[in-house]
């Protein structure tokens, strides 16, 4: 089980990861919205240039052309059929709109191009003519679009208008219309209309959420027409604009829970692997590390202890190998209980143990440690058998390599055995 402090630590890390994940994704969404609206304005600008450079033709045969009056207007119609086709395709492929473009129209004083052509478009124009207003003039008045910018000292892109959402009367489609006046030498030339399905931003957000595992929404308090106007104008003049995006707090909590669960599982798995890896490095009888796992003669140490069970062969010969194994196990457990957790215990040979000491800083503390090891074994019999150990230790004021330290400690162990056993000897370097 995860301890309480680890629980809160993982929870804190989960919150931090989730918060940063959503912050990064939110910034990505904001950048994409700005980027695709910038593409929109750039596409309109390119279209405007192409329209101004279009040649005049006889336009009666164009299927996308509607003429407002009944008189022929030969050689007064701009040839923009191909231009408006390309424009429609590019706008409809823009990821912010993607499939939500309803129609595009370019309205002149006496005619208009529209794509795609629908019967209701002609009906709408005819209705305007029947009440005595040309459609072009009707739009100028309705949207308060100025004919001459010099007179009003206006900036071109601020003459744009956005209207909606509204329901298209013939199809009941919910739309937003962008009115984009095209000025030539600051005088009105024509009006570009973009009818876009009103849910295009919601569709974009849904696609983004699906791809990025998020749940962002456009703030419902935002008026969509004002938002579109502001972002297009500010994009054109490189002004910063905060995108009104709302996070879903329940979704944030869900992501945080998923991250917490994932980190908890990973943490437990790492503990499991670490435990099993360490267990595989340990001698099954004593619980000490095996010598082959620490057979590194270049390891740096400052204090080393070698422990040897006295007369262990006699114990095996007298009581049998099963009892000998039990004595080994009990001695190792007592040693482990005496040394510090930071010390490393190694079964070096049959009845020989090596302790790599981590905390000794002076010889006084080493004397206390070695004396405690002797008494931990000799003060209490093991199955009515008197068991003692001999110890050789090495202490240095500076670190030296393991192989060299082992030689000093091994010489000290030899002195302990030679002078009576059940004792320790220290070699200080």
3-state SS string over 273-317?
HHHHHHHHHECCCCCCEEHHHCCCCCCEEEEEEEEEECCHHHHHH
Identify whether 71 is preceded by a cis peptide bond (ω within 30 of 0).
no
Contact indicator for 175, 165 with CB cutoff of 8 Å: yes
Nearest to 237 by CA among 156, 295, 152, 173: 156
Tokens found for residue 299: 């390891």
Which helix (H) or strand (E) segment is 256 a member of?
Answer: helix 249-281
The closest of 240, 254, 91, 100 to 165, measured between CA atoms, is 100
**Domain definitions of the chain by residue range:** 4-252, 289-428
CATH architecture of the domain formed by 289-428: 2-Layer Sandwich (3.30)
Spatial neighbors of 395 by CB under 8 A, at least 6 apart, are 302, 303, 360, 363, 366, 426, 427, 428, 429
pTM above 0.85, yes or no: no
Cα(254)–Cα(17) distance, integer angstroms = 13
Strand partners, 44: none
pLDDT at 96 (0 to 100) = 92
Q: What is the mean pLDDT of each run of 10 residues along the chain (429 residues)?
A: 73 89 90 90 91 78 65 68 92 92 90 79 53 72 84 67 83 88 88 93 92 88 86 67 80 87 86 69 80 69 91 91 92 92 86 86 88 93 92 88 89 92 89
What is the distance between the alpha carbons of residues 319 and 385, in angstroms, rounded to a whole number?
Answer: 10
Task: Cis check for the bond before 95: say yes or no (omega within 30 of 0).
Answer: no
Biggest CA-to-CA distance, the chain: 131
Structure tokens at 115: 């794509």
* DSSP designation for 199: T
Please give the structure tokens belonging to residue 224. 């969509």
Cα–Cα distance measured from residue 255 to residue 236, given in angstroms and rounded to the nearest whole number: 37
Residues linked to residue 67 through DSSP beta bridges, in sequence order: 111
CA 202 to CA 209: how far, in whole Å? 10
Residue 141, helix vs strand vs coil: helix
Question: Are 348 and 354 a contacting pair, CB within 8 Å?
Answer: yes
Given the structure tokens 């996308």, which residue do they identify?
64
User: How far from each other are the two terminal CA atoms of the chain, in whole angstroms?
Assistant: 46
Predicted local confidence at residue 402, as pLDDT = 86
Report how far Cα 420 is from the mean position of its chain's Cα atoms.
67
- DSSP-derived letter for residue 156 is G
Q: How far apart are CA 42 and CA 114, in angstroms?
A: 21
């Amino acid at each position: 089980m995860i301890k309480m402090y680890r629980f809160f630590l993982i929870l804190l890390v989960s919150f931090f990861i989730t918060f940063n994940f959503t912050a990064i994704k939110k910034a990505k969404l904001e950048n994409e919205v700005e980027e695709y609206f910038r593409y929109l304005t750039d596409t309109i600008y390119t279209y405007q240039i192409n329209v101004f450079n279009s040649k005049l033709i006889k336009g009666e045969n164009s299927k996308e052309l509607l003429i407002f009056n009944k008189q022929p207007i030969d050689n007064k119609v701009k040839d923009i059929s191909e231009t408006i086709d390309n424009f429609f395709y590019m706008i409809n492929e823009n990821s912010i709109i993607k499939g939500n473009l309803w129609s595009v129209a370019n309205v002149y004083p006496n005619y208009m191009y529209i794509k795609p052509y629908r019967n209701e478009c002609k009906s709408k124009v005819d209705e305007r003519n029947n009440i005595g207003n040309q459609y072009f003039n009707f739009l100028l008045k309705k949207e308060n679009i100025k004919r001459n910018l010099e007179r009003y000292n206006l900036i071109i892109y601020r003459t744009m208008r956005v209207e909606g959402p509204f329901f298209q009367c013939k199809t009941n489609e919910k739309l937003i219309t962008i009115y984009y006046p095209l000025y030539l030498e600051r005088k009105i030339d024509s009006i570009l209309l973009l009818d876009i399905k009103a849910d295009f931003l919601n569709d974009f957000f849904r696609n983004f959420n699906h791809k990025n595992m998020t749940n962002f929404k456009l703030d419902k308090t935002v008026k969509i027409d004002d938002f579109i106007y502001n972002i297009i104008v500010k994009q054109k003049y490189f002004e910063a604009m905060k995108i009104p995006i709302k996070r879903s707090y329940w979704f944030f909590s869900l992501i945080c829970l998923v991250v917490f669960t994932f980190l908890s599982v990973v943490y437990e798995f790492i503990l499991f692997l670490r435990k099993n890896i360490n267990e595989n490095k340990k001698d099954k009888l004593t619980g000490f590390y095996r010598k082959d796992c620490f057979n590194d003669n270049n390891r740096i140490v400052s204090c080393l202890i070698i422990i040897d069970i006295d007369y262990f062969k006699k114990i095996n010969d007298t009581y049998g190998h099963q009892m000998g194994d039990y004595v080994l196990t009990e001695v190792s457990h007592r040693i482990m209980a005496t040394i510090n957790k930071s010390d490393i215990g190694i079964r070096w040979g049959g009845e020989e143990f090596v302790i790599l000491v981590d905390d000794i800083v002076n010889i006084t503390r080493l004397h206390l440690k070695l004396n405690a090891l002797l008494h931990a074994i000799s003060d209490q019999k093991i199955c009515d058998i008197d068991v003692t150990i001999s110890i050789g230790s090495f202490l240095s004021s500076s670190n030296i390599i393991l192989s060299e330290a082992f030689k000093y400690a091994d010489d000290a162990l030899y002195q302990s055995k030679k002078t009576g056993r059940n004792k320790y000897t220290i070699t200080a370097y």
